[in-house]
Structure 1
């Protein structure tokens, strides 16, 4: 390659640097690359007041079929909640850590929305051997829960774990190394009237998928800590209702 070719290439690189590099730096500084390019190429973000569907293999994800027994000994399935907007959680009654926070939060949600007959809650025990209908009934009474649309469910352990881990993708398992002997994520799933899993979008236009239920509503958090999500869950339930 002769000297003229080297000069020509150098001029092209110089022009590119003068024109485009300042623009790239400016976009990175304003966080536009992350917000607009990485995640949202070729699609328009939903409006802020819209809730997203959760796509799985190209289809909107529905709540998996389930059928268990509630605290009153009645058989309850997902079909009983069609036409209602509801929250699903996985918990166990002897949990010494996050479950009391989760259900305290859900009591707050119920106080806000419980008068609406189209609102419900499904609490599924991951310790069905201990959590019989009688135990669940006493647990519900201790929380002063009398909403007929809030069912505490128990049933076959394998079916429950399949529903949690494979159906919802909400982790639940036995673990003797943690307090209470069971490990779970403390997440809430939001289900619409047609049985679809719904979610609000984060700042980058992605669905948050599930709502963090294990952080107490109204508590102050330090910088870098996770924020409570009960208020946004209530907001999104109101949108669907």
Structure 2
């Protein structure tokens, strides 16, 4: 073979090797960056399609995040604790009954979930009011009747305000606060958390490889996206509930 051809072939090998090395370094960097960020999802990388993608654990500083202990009265004036949900897949929300904006949408989305999983004994919902001074058990009972909340494992809970806010902000990292300037006097994020049968917070990753951690509860499936272009996530929440029920 002519010397020029040999040199050209060697040059090609060198460039291919350099490209592989660069991409390898970049991949390692990205993985390291995500691990150091403190919050990642441990997931099954064998399947990447939306229907096949696993529902990972939400991890913070190397620890799987679990639902903190709680104990509150529900709409039937019955004491409910986190242990009452063990063995069930459930969705957590923070709301208040006089909310004039996002709460009705959130509740209707949860009723949609209730109806979808009506025949599942191991499905439930935990709704915590962020206005417990007004939202007494009797008020919560009327709210449940108004929206058709019938699942025996859907508890609308009230109790000490500081405990509820601590559960929201420190237990779930879900934003909630009193704000006189906000509609209804309270402001909150409108996100849903998904909990597995053992009390761990679960999540899948979005299309960019970032953990969702929470599911957007303020947009209905029919809406698709809101005025800001944010997409609903109720469809994938349904998919992920089904996966956890099957575990």
TM range (shorter): 0.7 to 0.9
Post-superposition offset of 1:173: 0.3
Q: Which runs of 5+ in 2 are unaligned?
A: 1-10, 36-41
Out of 165, 171, 182, the position equivalent to 1:167 is: 171
Cα separation, partners in 2 of 1:136 and 1:60, compared to 1, 3 Å: same
Out of 169, 177, 184, the position equivalent to 2:188 is: 184
Post-superposition offset of 1:115: 1.4
1:57-136 alignment runs, 5 A limit = 57-136=61-140
Post-superposition offset of 1:91: 0.1
Separation (CA, whole Å) in 2 of partners of 1:183 and 1:216: 20
Cα separation, partners in 2 of 1:214 and 1:37, compared to 1, 3 Å: farther
Are residue 40 (structure 1) and residue 31 (structure 2) matched?
yes
What secondary structure, in the 3-state scheme, does the structure 2 residue paired with 1:94 have? coil
Q: Does the 8 A contact of 1:190 with 1:210 survive in 2?
A: yes
Q: Does the 8 A contact of 1:67 with 1:76 survive in 2?
A: yes
Q: Does the 8 A contact of 2:219 with 2:225 survive in 1?
A: no
- State the superposition RMSD in angstroms: 2.7
What secondary structure, in the 3-state scheme, does the structure 1 residue paired with 2:184 have? coil
What secondary structure, in the 3-state scheme, does the structure 1 residue paired with 2:140 have? helix
Separation (CA, whole Å) in 2 of partners of 1:78 and 1:126: 18
Moved more, 50-59 or 220-229: 220-229
Post-superposition offset of 1:82: 0.3
Give TM-score scaled by structure 2 length: 0.81
Q: Which has the larger radius of gyration?
A: 1
Separation (CA, whole Å) in 1 of partners of 2:43 and 2:152: 38
Q: Does the 8 A contact of 1:95 with 1:179 survive in 2?
A: yes
Separation (CA, whole Å) in 2 of partners of 1:224 and 1:126: 26
Deviation per residue, 1:107-128 (Å, 9 max, x gap): 1111111210100000100000
- Aligned residue pair count: 218
Post-superposition offset of 1:80: 0.2
What secondary structure, in the 3-state scheme, does the structure 1 residue paired with 2:183 have? coil
Find the counterpart in structure 1 of residue 242 from structure 2. 238
Cα separation, partners in 2 of 1:222 and 1:63, compared to 1, 3 Å: closer
Find the counterpart in structure 1 of residue 148 from structure 2. 144
Q: Does the 8 A contact of 2:129 with 2:157 survive in 1?
A: yes
Q: Does the 8 A contact of 1:39 with 1:204 survive in 2?
A: no
Separation (CA, whole Å) in 1 of partners of 2:79 and 2:226: 44
